[in-house]
């Protein structure tokens, strides 16, 4: 009789463990799906917006006319590291600065 109770107990424990594992993995998929939807509808900022917000955080942003295209390329590489910008953000800012000078 004790052997049957142990078998039933072990079976129930395995069943509960399986349910917990399945529910955790499906919850992760739900959150991933929500994140994907949010990313899909995220509005991207323009180079001008990024330039205004990012550069003015630490110093007065220089006018785009202050430097030529070659200078802006060098400055953007330096500031990408200093301001912790992504490549995409840095490229947008550089494109804006080149187009505005």
pLDDT band at 70 (very low <50, low <70, confident <90, very high): very high
- When divided into structural domains, the chain yields a total of 2
Q: Which tens digit of pLDDT belongs to each residue from 89-101? A: 999 999 999 998 8
The reply to whether 58 and 80 lie within a common domain is yes
60 and 21 fall within a common domain:
no
Structure tokens at 95: 């494109």
Q: How far is CA 13 from the centre of its chain?
A: 39
Looking at the structure, do residues 52 and 35 belong to the same domain, yes or no?
A: no
- Do 75 and 94 belong to one domain? yes
Coil, strand or helix at 14: helix
From residue 47, alpha-carbon distances to 4, 31, 68 in Å are 71, 30, 17
pTM, two decimals, is: 0.59
pLDDT, one tens digit per residue, over 16-28 is 555 555 555 544 4
**Same domain assignment for residues 96 and 55:** yes
Question: Domain span at residue 20?
Answer: 1-42
């Amino acid at each position: 009789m004790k052997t049957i109770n142990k078998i039933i107990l072990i079976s129930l424990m395995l069943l509960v463990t399986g349910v917990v594992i399945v529910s955790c993995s499906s919850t992760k998929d739900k959150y991933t799906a929500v994140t994907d939807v949010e990313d899909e509808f995220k509005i991207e900022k323009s180079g001008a917006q990024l330039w205004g917000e990012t550069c003015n955080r630490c110093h007065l942003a220089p006018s785009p006319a202050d430097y030529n295209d070659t200078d802006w390329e060098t400055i953007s590489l330096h500031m990408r590291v200093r301001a912790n910008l992504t490549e995409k953000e840095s490229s947008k800012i550089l494109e804006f600065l080149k187009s505005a000078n």
